[in-house]
């Protein structure tokens, strides 16, 4: 297995875990871009948003419904940004789908 986030999901590589259930895990980004920056990652290996299909509908909905409660638990009070970087132009550097949640400061738009 040669995937960083699969290795984190299997606990072969440690992370600062903030949440885990049978489908997903959430852990702090190692290079935070905001006072609060964590990643929500399915345990199932899916390369990117381009590989998501209808079999994943429940999983994606689960992730989206989880994010507000995790944001609140992490102390975010004035809103937050959810980011999925897809593919090289999208800025994806880890080939296992993940959703960034950033908060604790005002976000810029456009993101650049
Ligand atoms: P992306 O560029 O959207 O693929 O995001 C990958 C993110 O994973 C980056 O924000 C990295 O800082 C983060 N990252 C890389 N390695 C680790 C790690 N071992 N633990 C936590 N976050 C990581
Ligand atoms: Zn993986």
The number of helix segments (H) and strand segments (E) in the chain equals: 3, 5
Residue 83 placed within a domain: yes
Catalytic annotation on 98? yes
Residue 88 near ligand 1, beta carbon < 6 Å? no
Domains contained in the chain, number? 1
CATH number for the domain spanning 21: value is 3.30.428.10
The alpha carbon of 32 and the centre of ligand 1 are apart by a number of angstroms equal to 9
Residue 87 placed within a domain: yes
Domain of 36 in residue numbering reads as 4-103
Residue 21 placed within a domain: yes
pLDDT in tens, 28-87: 999 999 999 999 999 999 999 999 999 999 999 999 999 999 999 999 999 999 999 999
Global pTM reads 0.98
Residue 108 placed within a domain: no
């Amino acid at each position: 297995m040669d995937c960083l986030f699969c290795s984190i999901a299997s606990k072969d590589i440690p992370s600062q875990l903030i949440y885990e259930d049978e489908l997903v895990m959430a852990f702090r980004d190692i290079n935070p871009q905001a006072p609060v920056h964590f990643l929500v990652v399915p345990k199932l290996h899916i390369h990117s948003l381009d590989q998501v299909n209808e079999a994943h509908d429940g999983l994606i909905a689960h992730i989206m419904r989880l994010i507000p409660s995790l944001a609140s638990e992490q102390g975010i009070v004035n809103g937050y940004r959810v980011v999925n970087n897809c593919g090289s132009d999208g800025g994806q550097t880890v080939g296992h789908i993940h959703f960034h949640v950033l908060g604790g400061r005002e976000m810029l738009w456009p993101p650049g």
